[in-house]
Amino acid sequence: MTNPLIIYIEFAVALSLLNTIILMRVQPKSVNSFYPSTFYAIMITNFGFLFQALSTNLHEALLANKIVFVGGAYLPIFLFMALVNLCHLKISNALRMLLFSISGIIYLLAITSGYSNIFYSNAELVTVNGISKIQAEFGPGYILFCLQLIGYGATYLCIILFSLFHKKNVSFHSLCSLAVIGAITLASFAISKKMGVENIVMPGVFLVDEYILLILVHRMGKYDIETTILNSLVQTNTSAYVTFTKSKRYIGCNDIALNYFPQMKDFQVDLPLDNKSETEKTFSKLIDQFHPSDMSKITYFQLGNNHYKCLIKHLFHGNSDCGYMMRIEDDTKMQRYIKFLDKYNSELVNDVQDKDSHIHAMQEQMIVGMANMVENRDSNTGGHIKRTSQVIRILISEMRKDKSLGLSNKFCRAVVKAAPMHDLGKIAVDDMILRKPGKFTSEEYSIMKTHAEKGAAIVENLLQGIEDPELVTIAKNIANYHHELWNGDGYPKHLKGTEIPLEARIMAIADVYDALVSQRCYKEKISCEDAYEIIINSMGTHFDPGLKPYFISCREELEAYYSTALAS
């Protein structure tokens, strides 16, 4: 009759395999690799326990024990790295390599058992409860293994306690789940090892760990904003996407494109357009009309009885421009609606204008809302958006008095409207950097500086095709270049002098002036008088000296505004 304990271990092995398959099904795409690695290690370890239980001699048992120590050596670091990732902690690559090297050394020492006394000074095969196991005297290698467990256990506990009290952006339930896993695993191993039944207890404990991890990984999908947004966009997408290389070679498309253009089913990947079909001729013409210097371009075309709207942009692989991407929408209903409007234009024109104004108002509310969301994330810049927007209004109002500048009303309105968007790129900066109370490291500062270019891309995506192209350009320039300096020492492009767009030069004054007179967690505020002197003295180095007279003229109005704004 088969030993019930053997059946139990076989059942644990089978469930470990099943749990690993389930994990592959439920895990979010962005979940870090340490969770799957933990499942693989547990599955291999349980196989090792089974082989050891079935061993008929010491050589077989030692071989099985080496399989068991795949988990013994690597499970601690997998769980530790999963915790570090969950808590948004950063560890250097050197430390990461050191920890994995220690685990590798421990495993190498474990596989010397049977050939040396480093891991086991003495070992023999015994039968306990009807199953085989190794009874051994421990060598220095095993002591190193125990020290590793103690070290990870203590560090694990410290990270959990620190995160519970200081990391508000970490899920409490996820922390508790990992704490339970660490506690029951270490406690069960210590107790069962002392009792000599670890080969019976640990397979079941590992299964409990897996079930807790499955629940944790499933819940992580709710907190993964990037994946959630991406999945939502995919589910609600109604646009066709088609991609080509710079030499007009076909790369691929989505299913919606195949529904729009059935002739594309005959397109061969990696082959150039040969203009045999109307679809190929149309795509070839669209690419020819797109100038390489354009960031993006919207065009309209007709195939058969259907009308289409096409946004063509550069296709990037990493940082390399490798071709063209077309986003195509069926515009047939809109074109028919336009014809309908033409017929009844006199009756509907006011209604259309009202709706257009409503759309722009909604968009402006959304953009301001996003800007406020960024500001709420950044603990250093409370009220910054509102105040800098007012400074821009004051400066622009003063500049408009000088007719020699030739500033159009359209330009002035666009600069004022775009001002709240200047720091939208911070939405893409990690909270650990954005909310850091002290001085940035050089690496953190480099990451923070990326907010300018990221902000320009976000502004373009938000406004393109909805707002006037001049407003889009001005908003992009403000976001991208408001940290450029007149002497060329700024970022991200190190532009110099009049290479910097005028709107960005104006924004730079408003941004710095507010930063000087406002209190931040890393500095005290200074008086408006001192801030005025700093900016005046920086004209020609930091700021455009041509803006100096307008800044001087509006000094009193700025100081009057801040006396009220900072007091409220």
* Coil, strand or helix at 454: helix
Domain residues of the chain, as ranges? 4-230, 238-343, 349-565
Q: Which residues of 399-411 are buried (b: 16+ CB within 10 A; e: fewer)?
A: beeeeeeebeeeb
**Domain 4-230 sits in CATH 1.20.1070:** yes
Q: How far is 362 from 355, CA to CA, in rounded Å?
A: 10
Tell me the backbone φ, ψ of residue 484, rounded to 5 degrees.
-75, 145
Measured CA to CA in angstroms, residue 558 lies from 289, 418, 503, 543 at distances of: 48, 20, 19, 17
- Mean pLDDT of all residues in 231-257: 80
Tell me the backbone φ, ψ of residue 245, rounded to 5 degrees.
-80, 175
What residues have CB less than 8 Å from 226, skipping those under 6 apart? 30
Q: What is the pLDDT of residue 367?
A: 60
- Mean pLDDT of all residues in 430-455: 80
Range with the lowest mean pLDDT among 76-90, 371-385, 395-409?
Answer: 371-385
Measured CA to CA in angstroms, residue 7 lies from 10, 14, 199, 212, 440 at distances of: 5, 10, 13, 23, 57
pLDDT tier, 347 (very low <50, low <70, confident <90, very high otherwise): low
Q: What is the pLDDT of residues 507-559, one digit of tens each?
A: 999 989 988 888 766 667 888 999 899 999 999 999 999 999 999 999 999 98
Q: What is the pLDDT of residues 99-129, one digit of tens each?
A: 999 999 999 999 998 888 898 888 888 888 8
Whether 404 shows a pLDDT value over 80: the answer reads: yes
Whether 352 shows a pLDDT value over 50: the answer reads: no
Give the residue carrying structure tokens 């068991």.
Answer: 68
Within a 13 Å sphere around the CA of 367, how many CA atoms are in the beta-carbon half? 26
pLDDT tier, 230 (very low <50, low <70, confident <90, very high otherwise): very low
Q: What is the pLDDT of residue 466?
A: 62
Whether 29 shows a pLDDT value over 80: the answer reads: no
User: Can you point out the beta strands (E) in 188-276?
Assistant: 240-245, 250-253
**Domain 349-565 sits in CATH 1.10.3210.10:** yes
Q: Count other C-beta atoms under 10 Å from residue 155's C-beta.
A: 14
pLDDT mean across residues, the chain: 83
Q: Specify the CATH number of the domain 238-343.
A: 3.30.450.20
> Is residue 371 within 8 Å of 385, Cβ to Cβ?
yes
Report which DSSP code applies to 538: T
Q: What is the pLDDT of residue 537?
A: 94
pLDDT tier, 225 (very low <50, low <70, confident <90, very high otherwise): very low
Helix (H) / strand (E) containing 203: helix 198-223
Residue 544: closest CA among 494, 516, 508: 508
- Mean pLDDT of all residues in 44-62: 91
Whether 242 shows a pLDDT value over 60: the answer reads: yes
Q: How far is 242 from 239, CA to CA, in rounded Å?
A: 10
- Enter the pTM of the model: 0.44
> Is residue 300 within 8 Å of 331, Cβ to Cβ?
yes
Residue 200: closest CA among 306, 128, 121: 128
Burial of 68 (0-12, 13-18, 19+ CB in 10 A): buried
What residues have CB less than 8 Å from 507, skipping those under 6 apart? 388, 392, 415, 419, 422, 478, 482
Range with the lowest mean pLDDT among 63-67, 216-220, 289-293?
Answer: 216-220
Q: What is the pLDDT of residue 541?
A: 94
Range with the lowest mean pLDDT among 276-290, 425-439, 440-454?
Answer: 425-439
Range with the lowest mean pLDDT among 44-58, 143-157, 458-472, 554-568?
Answer: 458-472
What residues have CB less than 8 Å from 414, skipping those under 6 apart? 468, 470, 471, 474, 475, 503
Strand partners, 252: 243
Q: What is the pLDDT of residue 349?
A: 47
Q: How far is 394 from 539, CA to CA, in rounded Å?
A: 19
> Is residue 509 within 8 Å of 547, Cβ to Cβ?
yes
> Is residue 300 within 8 Å of 308, Cβ to Cβ?
yes
Give the residue carrying structure tokens 């008929």.
Answer: 56
Q: What is the pLDDT of residue 369?
A: 57
- Mean pLDDT of all residues in 259-263: 89
Q: How far is 211 from 220, CA to CA, in rounded Å?
A: 14
- Mean pLDDT of all residues in 240-254: 89
Q: What is the pLDDT of residue 358?
A: 46
Whether 462 shows a pLDDT value over 70: the answer reads: yes
Q: How far is 109 from 118, CA to CA, in rounded Å?
A: 7
pLDDT tier, 33 (very low <50, low <70, confident <90, very high otherwise): confident
Q: How far is 183 from 253, CA to CA, in rounded Å?
A: 49
Whether 146 shows a pLDDT value over 60: the answer reads: yes
C-alpha 258, offset from chain centre: 31
Range with the lowest mean pLDDT among 120-129, 278-287, 341-350?
Answer: 341-350
Q: Which amino acid is at 386?
A: K
* Coil, strand or helix at 133: strand
Peptide bond into 492 cis (omega under 30): yes
Q: What is the pLDDT of residue 127?
A: 87
Q: What is the pLDDT of residues 358-374, one digit of tens each?
A: 445 545 555 665 555 55
Residue 469: closest CA among 310, 329, 330, 298: 298
Q: What is the pLDDT of residue 229?
A: 46
Report which DSSP code applies to 267: P
Q: Which amino acid is at 364?
A: E
Q: Count other C-beta atoms under 10 Å from residue 300's C-beta.
A: 11
- Strand duo 296-303 + 131-138: pairing: unpaired
Q: How far is 524 from 538, CA to CA, in rounded Å?
A: 20
Higher pLDDT, 383 or 271: 271
- Mean pLDDT of all residues in 3-11: 90
Q: Which amino acid is at 88?
A: H
The percentage of the chain sitting over the pLDDT mark of 70, rounded to a whole number, equals: 86
Whether 221 shows a pLDDT value over 70: the answer reads: no
- Strand duo 306-317 + 320-330: pairing: antiparallel
Q: What is the pLDDT of residues 151-196, one digit of tens each?
A: 988 998 898 888 888 877 677 787 888 888 888 888 988 898 888 8
Q: What is the pLDDT of residue 57?
A: 92
